[in-house]
Amino acid sequence: MLLENINSPADVKALDAALLPALADEVRQAVLNRVSVHGGHVGPNLGIVEATIAMHRVFNAPDDKFVFDVSHQSYPHKTLTGRAFGFLDMTRLDEVSGYSSPAESPLYDTFELGHTSTSIALASGLQKGRDVMGRHENIVVVIGDGSLSGGEAFEGLNVAAETGTNIIIVVNDNEMSIAENHGGLYRNLALLRQTKGSAELNFFKAMGYDYLYVEEGNDVYKLIEAFQKVKDVDHPVVVHIHTLKGKGFTPAVENKEQWHWSMPFDLQTAQLRKPSTSESYTDLVGQFLLAEMKNDPSLVAVTAGCPSVVGFTPKLRAEAGPQHVDVGIAEGEAVALISGMAKAGAHPVLNVNSTFLQRAYDQIAQDLCINNQPAVINVVMGSVLGMNDITHVGFYDIPMLANIPNLTYLAPASWEEFVSMERWAIAQTGCPVAIRVPGGAVVHSSDSFPTDYSTAPTARLITRGSRVAFIGSGASVAWIEGAAEILREKGIQPTIISQTFLTSLDEPLLTSLLPDHQVVVIAEDGAVDGGFGQKIAAFYGSSPIRVLCNGVKKGLYDRYSYSALLAQSRLTPDTLAADALRALQQ
Amino acid sequence: MLLENINSPADVKALDAALLPALADEVRQAVLNRVSVHGGHVGPNLGIVEATIAMHRVFNAPDDKFVFDVSHQSYPHKTLTGRAFGFLDMTRLDEVSGYSSPAESPLYDTFELGHTSTSIALASGLQKGRDVMGRHENIVVVIGDGSLSGGEAFEGLNVAAETGTNIIIVVNDNEMSIAENHGGLYRNLALLRQTKGSAELNFFKAMGYDYLYVEEGNDVYKLIEAFQKVKDVDHPVVVHIHTLKGKGFTPAVENKEQWHWSMPFDLQTAQLRKPSTSESYTDLVGQFLLAEMKNDPSLVAVTAGCPSVVGFTPKLRAEAGPQHVDVGIAEGEAVALISGMAKAGAHPVLNVNSTFLQRAYDQIAQDLCINNQPAVINVVMGSVLGMNDITHVGFYDIPMLANIPNLTYLAPASWEEFVSMERWAIAQTGCPVAIRVPGGAVVHSSDSFPTDYSTAPTARLITRGSRVAFIGSGASVAWIEGAAEILREKGIQPTIISQTFLTSLDEPLLTSLLPDHQVVVIAEDGAVDGGFGQKIAAFYGSSPIRVLCNGVKKGLYDRYSYSALLAQSRLTPDTLAADALRALQQ
C-alpha cells in the first residue's frame, strides 16, 4: 500500500509520478473506509482527491498555506499529512476530526473551520500578513461552488483582489452545493463550464482575478500542470476546476445531495447501518409546513443551503414548488428576504440551524426587528444542545437572540406546543418571532396551549408548589420535571415552570413565588452565560430568594458527549435536585 | 417656488417637463438648507437629486416600492413625498429623520434603513413576496457603489437574479464610498464607466442581470428615458448611473470624503458653524496607532469603509501607507482578515463603530475566537452610548460580545487606561482582544494601570468601602464616582469598582464584598439586558447581598437625548445614589 508510507507531503513529492493515480485510489478508499464506519462527509471528499494530491505535489506545505472552505473536503489532505491512521486503522477513527484543526495538526491545518464561505476572507488575512512580514509563501484556498453564495466569500474575493499579491483560489466546481446551487452567479459558472473557461463574461475576471480553467478536475496530471503554472504567481488568480462530487462511489455520484454527508453505511449495499426509525422534529416541522402551505398560498418556507434542516428532500421541495425558496448559503440574505416578504404581505418561515443563524445577527437586529416585520424563524437545534463539533455548537442562541429589541423568541417543550406557537407566529402580524425547535427525541404533550401568544403569559406554570421552583425551557423542562420528582420523594412539592418566552420574563409569576419560595433553580437548555437564568437572577437581585443558574459554562466544546456535558453542567435531574436541596439547607 | 407645491409624486408627474431641472435646483437647495443648519449627509443627497425626480416621474410610488440603501441619500425622495417642510421650514427640521422611515412616511418609505448593503436583500423579499401574492408592482432599489462591497448586497444580488422576476437595481456610481472605493469589483465599475457600459466583462451581467448604462446620471431627461425602458420589465435589471457626488456645492465636489456627512456649516464659507476644538477618543486612537506603527512594522490598522472612525484622514492614511487597510464596507471580511493576519504573525488592529460590528458576529465567534488569534478590535462608541439614530444605536455591544467564548472584551474608563490595554493587546499572543473605546468627552487619569492584563484582576478596585458597592465600566465609572460622592456626604463610604473585563467576573473581589456589603449597584454603560450586571446578580444569587442592575432597558431608541436616556435608565449620579440608599433601607 502506498498510503501507509505517506507521512508528510514530502512523501507525496517523492512518489513516482506514474503511481499518483494509484495513490488517489487508495486515498479514496481510505475516505470510504472512514465515512462508512464513522459517518461524515462523503461526496465532497471523494471529489477533491486528485486536486489535493496535486496541491501537495506542487506546493510546499507547511510553508505554503492551504485553507479549505468549510473543511468538509479536507479528509484527503489529512491522509497525506500524517493522519492516514484516522482513515485506515479502525481503532483510531475518533482521533481525527471531520474538519481542519490546528489542534490536530499545527503544521498543516491553518484554521478551525466549519462554517461556510470563510476561507477567502481568512486567506486574505494570511496574504496581507505575509506581505507585511516580508515573506513569499503561496496562499492557496479551496472553495466549493456552493460556498461562493455566502457574502463573506464575496467580501474576501473583493479584498484579496485589491491587495493584489499572491493568492491562489481553487474553485472546486462540482455543480452542487449541499442541495442544488442557486442564484445568478451559478449561471455564469455554468457558462464557464460550457465554454471550457473561454467565455468573455467571467465573474472572476470581473472581480479582478487572473483565471485558469481545468475541465478534467479529477485528472491529477492536468491539475499538477495547472498548479505549476500558478505557483509563486505575483497576483491573485482563480483556478476553476470541474470535478465530480462523489467520484468513486456510484451511489454518491448518482444522488449527490443524499451523499453529501452520511451516517455510517454499508459499502456494498449503500444502506445505513442503523437507519433512523424514530420520529424527528426536523421531519415533523417540514411536514407541518407543507401541510400548512396548502391552506395558505402566501406561506413560503425558506432555507439557506440546508433544506434538510426540515427534512425537505427533493421530492418535498417539488411538492412545495414556489412556496419553498432556498437562498443558498446566505443566512443574512435569508433573514432580509423574509423581512421583505412579510412587508409584501406574505407569510415566510425561515428554517435554519442554530449555529448558522449566527451569520445573520445584524440582519435579525436591523432588517427584521427594527422593521418589526411578522416573519418567523425556526431555530433548529437538531441534537440536544445542537451539533457537537467545535464550529457547530448550537447552544449560544439564547445569549445571541434574547437581547435583540423587538424579537420574540419562544421555546416549546413538546411538539404540540411547537405547533401552537408556530400556527400563531405565522398568522399574527405584530412582530418577528423566532421559535426554538427543540433538540433530541420528540416529546409529546396532551396539555392545552395558548392560541394567541400575544396575550399569553410569557412563562407556563406547570405545577404550583412551594419552597423550591424549577424553571426550564425547551428540552430542559423534562430535566426539571425529573428533578421535581426526586424532590417529591423527599416530601417537597416544588413549583415547575417552563420559560416559554426567552425574550421576556413573566414578572407577575416570578413575583408570586416570593412569599412561599426560598430557592429558584434554573436549568438552561444551553449556555448559562447570557441565558434567561441570569435575567431571573437579576429580577430577584434585591429579594431574599436564592437563585441558582445551571447551564453550560462559556467555553469551546469539541465532539463532546451530550450526557457528559449535561452532567458536568449540572443539568441532569439528579444534579438539579441535589443543588436545590443544598440551597434549601443554606 | 415649485417645491412648495409638490405634496406627492403625483405633483412631480403633473409638472411641465421643462420645469424638471428647476425642480432639481430647488430640491438641491432644500437639501443644502437642511444640512447646513441641522447637519447630515451632504454629498450622497446632492448627487441623487435628478435620479430621484426621474424615479417619481416614471414609477408609481407608493404602489411601486423604492428601497434606498443606507437611505442616507433619501433626502430628495423625502422632499417629493410630503416632507419638504423638513427642508424648507427652519422650525420643522427635527420632524424628519436622516434616514428612510416608515414611521415618518408609511406610504413612501419602505424600511427603516441605516446599515449598509441591505437594500437588495430586503428588496429580494419584496420581489418574492409580490410574486407569491400575485401582484405586479415594480421593485426599485437605489444602491451606491460603496455599498456593493458588503456581503449582504452580493447575497441579495444573487438571490434576486435567481428569482428572476421584476426588480430594478439602480447602481448609483459616484466613484466613491465614504472614503475611496476599494477592491476588485471597483476595477470593473471603472471599466464599465470608461467604456460607457459596453465592456464585455460586466460584473452585473455575470450575476445574471440585464444591464443599462447612463453616463449622464445627473441629467433628469436621460434618467427618465432609462427608467421608462425598464419600467414593468419582467426580469432583473441593473441601471448603472454615473453621478457626481456633491453636485451643486463645490466644496462637496472637491472634497467628497469630508462632505459625505457634515455637522452644521456656513453655506458661503463652507466652514463648520461650531468647529470641534476638544480632543476626542477617535483622534487620539488614530494618532496612537500611527505612532506605534513606526516602532512596529507589523502593526496594521484596519478599517471597514469608515477610516474616520479613528480620524484617519487621507493625509494620515498616506502616512500609514501599507500599514493601513480599508476593506470597504465589509465588517465580516475585516474580522476574518485580522484573524488571518495574526495567524501570519502580524499585529492587526481593527477599528469599527459598535453598531457596525454587529455585522461580524459570526466572524468574531468562528474566524477569530475559535481560532484564538491575538488580533485586536477597537469597538468605537463615538458618543456616550453611541450614535442615536434608531439604526445606529451602539449600546448593544456588551450583550453581543460578552458571551462569545475565547474573547476578552475590555472597558477602559480613561484614555490612559485605554493606552495600557491597547499596548498589551497588540503585543500579546494569547487571545483575541476587543477594547471598548469610550464614548463622549476624553477622561484623563493619573492612576497606574497594569502592563499585563493576562495576569491582572478582571476588575479594578478604585475605592474599598463598606455597605454599598458601585460597579461601573467605561463611561459609567464617572457616574458611579459621582454617586459615591453623594453617599459620602451622607456618611456612607461606598466601594467603587471598575469592571474592566466585560467577559469575565472578578470572583475573588466579588466574594470579598460579602462580609461587609449589603447592596451592590451596577451601572451599565449601555444595555441592562445581557449586560455584565446580570452576571454579577447571578453570581450573588445565593447570597444575601442585594443587587440592583441599572442600565438602558431593551428597546428601540430613535434620536434620543443622551442626558434624558441616562436619567430614565437611572444611570446618573443622583439616581444611582438614590437607588443605593433605598436598597440599603430595605
Residue of B nearest to A321 (CA): B132
| B388 pLDDT tier (thresholds 50, 70, 90) | confident
Measured distance CA(A156)–CA(A121) in Å, rounded: 4
CA distance A86 to A103: 15
B486 has pLDDT over 60: yes
- Residue type at A59? F
B332·A152 Cβ contact <8 A: yes
> What single letter denotes the amino acid at residue B493?
Q
pLDDT cut 70: percent of chain B above it: 98
Per the CB < 8 A criterion, the answer to whether A468 and A521 are in contact is yes
What was the pLDDT predicted at B387?
Answer: 78
Contact check, Cβ <8 Å, B158/A538: no
Q: Scanning every residue of chain B, which has its alpha carbon at the shortest distance from the alpha carbon of A407?
A: B555
Tell me if chain A has a CB within 8 Å of the CB of B199. Answer: no
Q: What pLDDT, on a 0 to 100 scale, did the predictor assign at position B180?
A: 60
Percent over 90 (pLDDT), chain B: 95
Q: 10 Å Cβ neighbour count for B507? A: 11
| Residues 364-403 of chain A whose Cβ lies under 8 A from any Cβ of chain B | 365-367, 370-371, 390-391, 396, 399-400, 402-403
In angstroms and rounded to an integer, the radius of gyration of the C-alpha atoms of chain B is 26
Confidence of residue A387 (pLDDT cuts 50, 70, 90): confident
User: Which residue do the cell numbers 458588503 mark?
Assistant: B150
> Which of A182, A188, A542 lies closest to B548 in CB terms?
A542
Residue B64 near residue B138 (C-beta atoms within 8 A):
yes
CB contact under 8 A, B403 and A396: yes
The pLDDT of A311-324, averaged and rounded, is: 95
pLDDT at B453 over 70: yes
Taking CB atoms and an 8 Å cut-off, how many pairs form between chains A and B? 402
**pLDDT exceeds cutoff 70 at A177:** no
Measured between beta carbons, which residues in chain B are less than 8 angstroms from residue A361? 358-359, 361-362, 400
Q: Which positions ≥6 away from A197 have C-beta within 8 Å? A: A211, A212, A213, A215, A240
- Full strand arrangement of the beta sheet holding B139-144: B65-68, B139-144, B167-173, B236-242, B210-214
- Residues of chain B positioned with their CB less than 8 A from the CB of A362: 115, 358-359, 361
| Binary contact (A556, B124; C-beta < 8 A) | no
- What is residue A38's predicted lDDT score, i.e. its pLDDT? 94
Cβ distance of B121 and A337 shorter than 8 Å: yes
Quick one: three-class SS letters along A241-281? EECCCCCCCHHHHHCCCCCCEECCECCCCCCECCCCCCCCH
Paired with B326 in beta bridges are B303
pLDDT in tens, A269-288: 999 999 888 899 999 999 99
pLDDT given for residue A21 in this prediction: 98
Mean pLDDT of the B433-441 span: 94
Contact A332 B151 (CB under 8 A): yes
What percentage of chain A's residues is helix, strand, coil (to nearest 5)?
45, 15, 40
Position B277 scores a pLDDT of 80
Band (A180; pLDDT cuts 50, 70, 90): low
Q: How far apart are CA B335 and CA A2, in angstroms?
A: 41
The residue of B100, B143, B147, B152 whose CB has the most chain A CBs within 10 angstroms, and thus the best one to mutate to test that interface, is B152
Of A87, A76, A97, nearest to A218 by C-alpha is A76
Give contacts of A323 with chain B, Cβ < 8 Å. 132
Q: What is the model's pLDDT at position A79?
A: 98
What percentage of chain A has pLDDT greater than the value 90? 95
Residue B181, pLDDT > 80, answer: no
Cβ–Cβ contact B202 with A under 8 A: yes
User: Residues A326-349, buried b or exposed e (16+ Cβ, 10 A)?
Assistant: bbbbbbbbbbbbbbbbbbbebbbb
Mean pLDDT of A52-65: 98
- Which H helix or E strand runs over A159? helix A151-163
Q: Phi, psi (5° rounding) for residue A292?
A: -65, -35
Of chain A residues 252-281, which have a CB less than 8 A from chain B?
Answer: none
> What average pLDDT does the segment B380-397 reach?
87
Partner residue facing A337 (CB), from B110, B124, B135 = B124
Tell me the mean pLDDT in the region A19-39: 97
The closest of A105, A24, A172 to A12, measured between CA atoms, is: A24
Mind listing the pLDDT tens digit for each residue in B236-289? 999 999 999 999 999 999 999 899 999 999 999 999 999 888 899 999 999 999
- Give a three-class secondary structure readout of A128-146: HHHHHHCCCCCEEEEEEHH
| Three-class HEC string of B76-93 | HHHHHCCCCHHHHCCCCH
Burial track B46-61 (b if 16+ CB lie within 10 A, e otherwise) = bbbbbbbbbbbbbbeb
Q: Quick one: closest CA in A to B365, which residue?
A: A358
Cα→Cα distances B479→A300, A355, B489, B497, Å: 50, 38, 16, 12
Mutate to test the interface with A, among B502, B542, B550 (most CBs of A within 10 A): B542
DSSP A18: G
What backbone phi and psi angles, to 5 degrees, belong to B387?
Answer: -65, 160
For residue A556, the one-letter residue type is L
- pTM of the predicted model as reported, rounded to 2 decimal places: 0.97
Q: How far is A318 from chain B (nearest CA, A)?
A: 16
With a CB-CB cutoff of 8 Å, which residues 146-165 of chain A face chain B?
149-163
pLDDT of residue B313: 92
Cell readout for A256 is 449527490
In B15-166, beta strands by DSSP E: 40-41, 65-68, 139-144
Q: With CA atoms as reference, report the closest residue to B436 among B465, B405, B463, B476.
A: B476
Chain A residues within 8 A of B333 when measuring between CB atoms: 121, 124, 152, 155-156, 158-159
Are A261 and A60 in contact, with CB atoms under 8 Å apart?
no
User: Which region among A368-377, B47-56, B183-192 has the lowest average model confidence (pLDDT)?
Assistant: B183-192
Option in A131, A202, A556 nearest B406 (CB)? A556
Exposure string for A249-285, b = 16+ CB within 10 A, e = fewer: bebbbeebbbbbbbeebeeeebeeeeeeeeeebbbbb
**Torsion angle defined by CA atoms of residues A11, A14, A15 and A21, in that order, rounded to the nearest 10 degrees:** 80
Q: How far apart are the first and last CA of chain B?
A: 66
Do B333 and A121 make contact, defined as CB atoms within 8 angstroms?
Answer: yes
Does residue A585 sit at the B interface (CB-CB below 8 Å)?
Answer: no
What does the pLDDT read at residue B176?
65
Interface with chain B: mutation pick from A157, A158, A390, A585, highest number of B CBs within 10 Å: A158
Q: Note whether A332 contacts B127, CB cutoff 8 Å.
A: no
pLDDT at A114 over 90: yes
Judge residue A8's burial from the number of C-beta atoms within 10 Å of its C-beta, 0-12 exposed, 13-18 middle, 19 or more buried. middle
Asked whether the predicted pLDDT for residue B2 surpasses 80, the reply is: yes
pLDDT band at A182, cuts 50/70/90? low
Radius of gyration of chain A (CA): 26
Backbone angles phi, psi at B550, to 5 degrees: -105, 140
Give the residue with greater pLDDT, A586 vs A493: A493
Answer whether A542 touches B (CB < 8 Å): yes
User: Nearest CA to B102 among A147, A339, A536?
Assistant: A339
Closest CA to B505 of B541, B468, B479, B467: B541
The mean pLDDT of B291-300, rounded to a whole number, is 97
C-alpha cell, B273: 458653524
Instruction: Supply angle C-alpha A172, A177, A182, rounded to 5.
Output: 110
Q: What confidence tens digit (pLDDT) does each residue in B146-178 have? A: 999 999 999 999 999 999 999 999 999 998 655
- Name the one residue in this structure whose C-alpha cell is 472572476: A204
- Please report the residues numbered 231 through 250 in chain A whose beta carbons come closer than 8 angstroms to any beta carbon of chain B: 236
Alpha carbon distance B447, A442 (integer Å):
58
Residues 84-123 of A with CB under 8 A from B: 102, 110-115, 118, 121-123
Residues 6+ apart with CB under 8 A from A138: A59, A60, A64, A65, A166, A168, A231, A232
User: How close B65 gets to chain A, by Cα (Å)?
Assistant: 10
Q: What does the alpha-carbon distance between residue A457 and residue A460 come to, in Å, rounded to a whole number?
A: 7
* pLDDT (mean) for A372-400: 91
